[in-house]
Structure 1
Amino acid sequence: MAATGLGRRARVRALGLATLAACMAMTAHAAPPDRDAIKAQVAQRHGTAVKALQEWIALPSIAAEDRNPAQGAEYMARLAREAGFQHVEVVDTGGKPGVFATLDAGAPTTVGVYYMYDVKQYDPAEWTSPPLEARLIDKPGLGKAVVGRGATNQKGPEMAFLTALHAIRDAKQTMPVNLVLVAEGEEEIGSPNIGKLVLRPDIQAALKKSIGVFMPMGLQDPAGAVTVNLGAKGVVELELVADGKAWGRGPSKDVHSSLKAMVDSPAWRLVKALDTLVSEDGNTVTIDGFPKPAPLSAQDRAMIARSTGARDEATARKSLGVPHWIDDLSWEKANERLVSQPTVNIQGLVGGYTGVGGKTVLPHRAVAKIDMRLVPPMTRDGAVAALKAHLAKRGYGDIAVNVSGGYDPTSTDADSRLIQAQVAVLRRNGVEPLMWPRLAGSYPGFVFTQPPLSLPAGHFGLGHGGGAHAPDEFFLIESSNPKVQGFDGAVMSYVDYLYELGSSTGSAAAAK
């Protein structure tokens, strides 16, 4: 009896000490940081961080060209280790490798972070400075920016986030949250193996502990405004291929164009098939069985009205080089269409001879590179199935549909802790955020927001960049506009966001 009583008292005492230790840890993580000390470290690290960004840009990992996938993953892993992640692992996905890393700060809150280390292709002839040299260039009206492939999409914002981790550690401040990082090397080809990375049992279990997942992004426009996106469209990337051999008509090799009078053309067959996918003006999807988009809610329309009222239409048209919106729609109605409508877009058409002058051939093969943007309740698999069935029904079953990647659309609740923390940080920085129902671009957030994880997911970060997927891509380093943050300001936005997420009182809404 005495031994049993002593054992019970020991267990109670041990439980009490464990509870006290947990409370002390929670108090330490909830305590406000010495922000000035962190900011000083950010300033001190500025040159090192910018150089690190330039060196990262100099190593392009391009999934579409199978260029440097292993080197890109190892480099990403090295950056994570240097930033303080204790467990870092390169993960075989069956495609380009991913990276999984965890940073255990002993905090009560865990946050997921999504990275991509791959970038888009580029043609150096189209750039005013070499795309891999990451030169610092003066951008009129903006300030000094680093120009290079991947500068804004996404290496600039991602380096800013890693720099925030360095600065917190170097300032000897308590890391406010635990982090779970997943990085992929196939985002630019539609993330075909993202599930094999994120849903591996141990990685899934680590992410399941988080309150949500965010992707670093420079979200400020040139005037300093910030849009908080509550979702993103899905996407399917594919090729449609018309081939004389598969068709059983037309040539099996390129022949002289004079023979068109007696020989069928795979190129024209592809053009005719493409014409069935959209309306006469090319602006409305007409694929048979394509799911109908869900109508915008009153809340969605209100968000769009408020956002378009705060943004300048003329500036947007000028930056895009677009004199009119579809059907000459108003600014607000055009943005409603941007949010709510699916699209079938021709990225490129390739067939026969495309060099200097003419060659007078009848090509045996023609290819259309297509992307389809999806909105709820559409799914990647449903869209592909509808496209294949449509082509077969219209007599074009011989046209190959080669899907390279894609994923479903995604949505996140505005009341989630992940989003509410963003709103709080932005307001403290003097920015009243514009809420937006759905980003017109795409990223594989579905893997986080859908079961089995069912987590909030989104983007966050101050700073400004431009030219994603285009020549002269840039990320702002030193801003000439006090309302727009340069690199150091972007870094501090991540510091503030992490502490807001880790605060027991800063985010009133429960994680959803």
Structure 2
Amino acid sequence: MKRSLAAMTMAATIALATAPVAAETPQREKIVATVEAQHDATVKALTDWVALPTIAAEKRGTPEGAEYMRKLALDAGFQQAKVIPTDGVPAVFATLDAGAKITVGVYFMYDVKQFDPAEWNTPPLTATLVDRPGEGTAIVGRGMVNQKGPEMAFLAAVKAIQASGRKLPVNLVLVAEGEEEVASTHFDQVVAVPEVQAALSKAIGVFIPAANQNRDGSAGITLGAKGAVEFQLLVGGETSDKYPKTDIHSSNHARIESPAWRLVKALDTLVADDGHTPTIDGWFENVQPLSPRQKELIAQSVKPGAEAGEKALLGVGRWINDEDYTTSLERFFSQPTVNIQGLVAGYTGEGGKTVLPGRAEAKLEFRLVPNMTKAEAVSKLQAHLARRGFDDVRVTVSGGYGPNETAEDSALIRAQKKLFDAQGIPYTIRPRNAGSWPGVIFNGPPLNLPASQFGLGRGGGAHAPNEWFLIESSDPKVYGLDEVTMAYVDYLYVLAEEAAKK
């Protein structure tokens, strides 16, 4: 293991020194040397960060996570960083004034998803080096790829530029929230703070660090993301006196209504008999269809063999309606959804318990596309249920935001294309990510800024057991931690050049 790690480190050094680069990065070899010199410290900082989780859904790691994030920003060279209180988990706001003409916003999430240690091969909060055959050495731990690995690489890039004796080519405004994994419940409060809003208003756009490289070395560019709204439907003794306040003997179902059946009936009205097409009244009236250019981008992204690999990864054998791969991708990126995350009622252990549940709850989510909004979706859901007499079904919205969309000719996207072309990295462009992040907070009023994801490197297992992020790559086409760090360095320089053109 030590011999293979050493060999990969040598290969990474050679790749960093010889890879084609964008001309905008001055004296790049000095920054490369700094990145390599701080490699061990960066890995240590990442493993320490993983050991301190912030899990908003469990109220775990707050406010400690925000204070830790603040210190990470200061350690990276941000001149000021402060904790911003919200009605939920606090956020962090930091600035770095390099005296540059261009200012760039950076969005972080410092929170992670819940985990069950029994499902993991290694302790989730103990960063563990593992060998990934054919790929290299990765670190396993909760939050590694979503999003702490890419974010730590970005912080390392900011640190390396300054440690090599130069100023950044752009000023930075960092906003980091601790509730992204519960649909950014209070993030709008952060951006509404006058000091934060004033700083962001100077930016040419906002991006989130991400690991967007595929196993073959190709990269992805996305022009937006679906919105997400998380909510619960609840039926039981606490919503109406026609239901028992606790579980009671099941023989009483002959004369007492079942919360579980009532919930099932309400849920059944939300989708068609096909089980997936939303039927909420007025649901599709503001849905923006894919443009010809967006369909063209989707078709261009289809690669030979990709469908089989994706089906294997997802554990399925067919798409809805047995559609072809391209059609399934168009549906993936264009369709708003009503999804049941989980259902809970009564007894679910071994054998029977002969109870009539006193409570039934479903956790659901909406995925929204342009031009839908969170307020519209929630309002239509409530009106839909009311029209059908479901006044005893309580709707509780726990978080969410609308979709975001950024023009292909924005500086954020032009810089990505230019960087990938300069470094010989093949890439595809997709109209949006079917997953979600709160870019609409920046896209929408009052800021109206482009918002995008950017990053290279690889990882997997987000929201799942054994989450990982590649540290040392055995394939020169795929970036490890140091190469990812240098990609952020190069991106900032290319972004400064592109932004200055308009």
TM-score range, shorter chain: over 0.9
1:41-74 superposed Cα distances (whole Å, 9 cap, x missing partner) = 1111111111111110000000001111210000
Given that 1:112 and 1:181 are in contact with CA atoms closer than 8 Å, whether structure 2 keeps it comes out as yes
The answer for the alignment partner of 1:256 in structure 2 is 249
The answer for the alignment partner of 1:386 in structure 2 is 380
CA 1:261–1:452 in 2, change beyond 3 Å: closer, same or farther?
same
1:383-441 superposed Cα distances (whole Å, 9 cap, x missing partner) = 00000111111121211111000001010011011110111111122113211101101
How many residues are aligned here?
479
Moved more, 252-261 or 434-443: 252-261
Moved more, 308-317 or 439-448: 308-317
Provide the TM-score with structure 1 as the length reference. 0.91
Given that 2:102 and 2:499 are in contact with CA atoms closer than 8 Å, whether structure 1 keeps it comes out as no
Given that 2:124 and 2:142 are in contact with CA atoms closer than 8 Å, whether structure 1 keeps it comes out as yes
Question: Does 1:434 pair with 2:425?
Answer: no
Identity of aligned residues (%): 56
How far off its partner does 1:496 sit? 0.4
1:129 counterpart (98, 101, 122): 122
Given that 1:38 and 1:168 are in contact with CA atoms closer than 8 Å, whether structure 2 keeps it comes out as yes
SS at match of 1:468: coil
The answer for the alignment partner of 1:43 in structure 2 is 36
**Whole-Å Cα distance in 2 between the matches of residues 182 and 356 of structure 1?**
47
The answer for the alignment partner of 1:271 in structure 2 is 264
**Whole-Å Cα distance in 2 between the matches of residues 394 and 31 of structure 1?**
61
**Structure 2 unaligned regions, length at least 5:** 1-22
Question: Does 1:158 pair with 2:151?
Answer: yes
AA aligned to 1:313 is E
**Whole-Å Cα distance in 2 between the matches of residues 90 and 333 of structure 1?**
45
How far off its partner does 1:508 sit? 7.3
Q: Any residues of structure 2 matched to 1:48-63 within 5 Å, and which?
A: 48-63=41-56
The answer for the alignment partner of 1:83 in structure 2 is 76
AA aligned to 1:411 is E
CA 1:509–1:369 in 2, change beyond 3 Å: closer, same or farther?
farther
Given that 2:401 and 2:438 are in contact with CA atoms closer than 8 Å, whether structure 1 keeps it comes out as yes
The answer for the alignment partner of 2:104 in structure 1 is 111
2:224 counterpart (222, 231, 237): 231
The answer for the alignment partner of 1:198 in structure 2 is 191
The answer for the alignment partner of 1:349 in structure 2 is 343
Provide the TM-score with structure 2 as the length reference. 0.93
Given that 1:347 and 1:368 are in contact with CA atoms closer than 8 Å, whether structure 2 keeps it comes out as yes
How far off its partner does 1:95 sit? 1.3
Question: Does 1:473 pair with 2:436?
Answer: no
**Whole-Å Cα distance in 2 between the matches of residues 258 and 146 of structure 1?**
54
- CA RMSD, Structure 1 to Structure 2 (Å): 1.4
**Whole-Å Cα distance in 2 between the matches of residues 360 and 371 of structure 1?**
31
Question: Does 1:220 pair with 2:213?
Answer: yes
Question: Does 1:499 pair with 2:493?
Answer: yes
The answer for the alignment partner of 1:72 in structure 2 is 65
Given that 2:211 and 2:457 are in contact with CA atoms closer than 8 Å, whether structure 1 keeps it comes out as yes
Q: Any residues of structure 2 matched to 1:13-24 within 5 Å, and which?
A: none
**Whole-Å Cα distance in 2 between the matches of residues 360 and 486 of structure 1?**
56
Given that 2:212 and 2:220 are in contact with CA atoms closer than 8 Å, whether structure 1 keeps it comes out as yes
Structure with greater Cα Rg = 1
1:417 counterpart (411, 414, 417): 411
**Structure 1 unaligned regions, length at least 5:** 1-29
Given that 1:111 and 1:180 are in contact with CA atoms closer than 8 Å, whether structure 2 keeps it comes out as yes
**Whole-Å Cα distance in 2 between the matches of residues 270 and 429 of structure 1?**
54
Question: Does 1:374 pair with 2:368?
Answer: yes
Runs of 4+ in 1 over 6 A off after TM superposition: none
CA 1:241–1:419 in 2, change beyond 3 Å: closer, same or farther?
same
Given that 1:42 and 1:488 are in contact with CA atoms closer than 8 Å, whether structure 2 keeps it comes out as yes
